[in-house]
Amino acid sequence: MLKTASLTPLQYEILVKKATEYPFTGIFTDNESLGSYLCRQCGTVLFRSIHKFHSGCGWASFDDAISGKVRNVPDADGRRTEIICNNCEGHLGHVFQGEELTDKNTRHCVNSASLDFVNSIYIEDSEEVILAAGCFWGVEYYLKKIPGVVLTEVGYCGGHVDNPIYDDVKKESTGHLEVVRVIWDKNKQSLEQILKVFFETHDPEQIDGQGPDIGNQYLSAIFYYDAMQKATAEKVMQLLIDKGYKLATELRKMEKFWIGELYHQDYYNRKGTLPYCHGYQERF
């Protein structure tokens, strides 16, 4: 599944146009958590945390990649060796040999913007969707609990302004919805079940927001990547329509995803409190 539609301009410049991050600016350069690194453009699992080491070069460094997932190609500069995702050909960075930094004597020098990091060391295949259902704090709280989910990020999608900030989004001046980006292990979970939890943890019939949160930024929506995701969403929605629900949920093609401010991420788990405008109601 290609996720190019949700890339920010920086991610697009690097993955598609083969640009390079400034050194020491990547979010994964110093990441030491256990898990796996995925291609941001297609979700292919590329590296494990056991491959990662501190090289001091200013970019995330790995002395190995998962077999068959990363391809070496001659760089356009005629001197270096570029590394790309073997599935989508997204640009990752470059590989260097003979530096004697690790026993494997190899350094995959990777742009953080080319990657996602997930908290699973065993994941083999992933899928992603972006969902809107009111205040993203509560939406993330419930989606994060689904078995097989390996990453959630709150942010903004569907607007007309680059790099939106929360204060502008809540004024409804950017056109964005508050959303949650969800990635799951395809061997452990399905989009259909993700969407069923989505519909059971908010009111999909409310047309002006969610609970006491009123405004266009709080509307219910599913942002789909491809025809298969759209068909799955339509199937789940039809199940509810057949039960008599008058759905206000919009089905929308994917747009750029802008990650929200750090203080919004995993909000309720960090605070140790419960959502005030989301709860569980069986619908299926």
- pLDDT at residue 276 in the model: 87
Using DSSP, state whether 155 is helix, strand or coil: strand
By 3-state DSSP, what share of the chain in percent is helix, strand and coil, each rounded to 5?
Answer: 25, 30, 50
Using DSSP, state whether 235 is helix, strand or coil: helix
Q: What is the mean pLDDT of the chain?
A: 97
200 contact partners, CB below 8 Å, separation of at least 6: 280, 281, 282, 283, 284
Across the range 211-226, mean pLDDT stands at: 96
Specify the amino acid at residue 145: K
Residue position matching structure tokens 């047309």: 207
Across the range 182-208, mean pLDDT stands at: 98
Across the range 112-137, mean pLDDT stands at: 97
Cα 182 to Cα 144: distance, rounded to the nearest angstrom = 8
Helices (H), the chain: 9-15, 136-143, 166-169, 191-200, 227-242, 267-271
Length of the chain counted residue by residue = 284
Domains and CATH numbers, the chain: 4-118 (2.170.150.20), 126-271 (3.30.1060.10)
* Per-residue pLDDT band at 22 (split at 50, 70, 90): very high
Using DSSP, state whether 136 is helix, strand or coil: helix
Tokens of 190: 């399905």
Residue 134: is its pLDDT beyond 90? yes
* Per-residue pLDDT band at 214 (split at 50, 70, 90): very high
Active site residues: 109, 135
- pLDDT at residue 256 in the model: 97
Share of the chain above pLDDT 70, in %: 100
Residue 277: is its pLDDT beyond 90? no
- pLDDT at residue 193 in the model: 98
pLDDT digits (tens, 9 = 90+) for 164-174: 999 999 999 99
* Per-residue pLDDT band at 195 (split at 50, 70, 90): very high
